[in-house]
Amino acid sequence: MLDCGAVSPLPAVRLLQPADVPAAAAVGGASLSDQIPVALQPTTPAERAHLVRRQQARVSHLLATDPEGSWVAEVDGEIVGVALALVRDDIWGLSLFGVRPGLQGQGIGRLLLAAALGYAAGRRGALILSSTDPRAMRSYARAGFAVKPALAAAGAINRARLPAGLRTRAGDVEADRELLDAVSRHVRTAAHGRDLGAFVAAGDRLLVLDGRGFAVSRRGSPILLAAFDDEAATDLLWSCLADGAPGAPVHLDYVTQGNDWAVAVALEAGLSLSPDGPVFVRGETGPFAPYLPSGAYL
């Protein structure tokens, strides 16, 4: 248990317990809601309920896979902050980090991040997909991470531009395991393992290009994409975009240096580019291309 003197009463940082999942997911969601573009925010009660279920499923999944990387901050018995980290093939990644709006900037995040980073000690490498929050970026840079600037792209695609002859097929997390693990290890030195099953369980679609790569589509947005070569990545990205409903907005996040194939597709599809939060890396994290990492599972 760690204590901090900046907030009164003192926050305590402790490991996440199963009973904390709804509160931890709610704090994580509230802390990040400003970062979600308005066009992508849920609008109906059904969409909001779906988002809450997905946020809780993510927290439960990480509690199951990484109980030692899952931390919360508590004040007066209430959860006010959360930091969830995962380790895959000895690479650490920060999945969720947020403090309740109104309590930010008072030292709670510093304690949480220190606890989550304890789980990174002695690992081969570490990855963080940052928001643009100055407090977050400062914390990661000061923890010894190197920065990779990133772009995002968003909008509704022009379906007339979808190329003919896309070669992807529906994937299967178990049957395609060998390819999936090999591609993830190519781009970031670590397989995604059980995280791919978590996407599928949440309703996302796994797409595979035989021998060359895979992507996860969430209603047309490529929420994870990894390939051995740019041509395969291009096919997979178009396949994700084709998977969305006509006229619905889609987004690509964390397009870093070396992923110009993604910029080319985004522009050809009619999406708009914007600056994104940077990626921070430490140690052996691979070429990071052709790769669009996942905000939840890196």
Ligand X SMILES: CC(C)(COP(=O)(O)OP(=O)(O)OC[C@H]1O[C@@H](n2cnc3c(N)ncnc32)[C@H](O)[C@@H]1OP(=O)(O)O)[C@@H](O)C(=O)NCCC(=O)NCCS
- Which residues contact ligand X by CB under 6 A? 31-32, 35, 97-99, 104-110, 130-131, 133-136, 138-139, 142
Give 123 or 135: the residue with its C-beta nearer to ligand X: 135
Q: How far is the CB of 109 from ligand X (least distance, A)?
A: 2
Q: How far is the CB of 201 from ligand X (least distance, A)?
A: 24
Q: How far is the CB of 134 from ligand X (least distance, A)?
A: 4
Q: What residues does 242 pair with on adjacent strands?
A: none
Q: How far is the CB of 93 from ligand X (least distance, A)?
A: 11
Residue 135's CB: how many other CB atoms inside 10 A? 15
For the chain, give the longest Cα–Cα distance: 61
CA–CA gap between residue 99 and residue 108 (Å, rounded): 7
CA–CA gap between residue 280 and residue 107 (Å, rounded): 21
Closest among 36, 108, 33, 96 to 295, alpha carbons compared: 96
Which residues, other chains included, contact 254 with Cβ-Cβ below 8 Å and sequence gap of 6+? 129, 150, 152, 276, 277, 279, 292, 293, 295
Q: Which residue has the tokens 């809601």?
A: 33
Give 31 or 55: the residue with its C-beta nearer to ligand X: 31
Q: Closest CB to ligand X belongs to which residue?
A: 109
Give 99 or 227: the residue with its C-beta nearer to ligand X: 99
Q: What are phi and psi of 152, to 5 degrees?
A: -120, 165
Q: How far is the CB of 222 from ligand X (least distance, A)?
A: 20
Give 86 or 99: the residue with its C-beta nearer to ligand X: 99
Give 98 or 125: the residue with its C-beta nearer to ligand X: 98
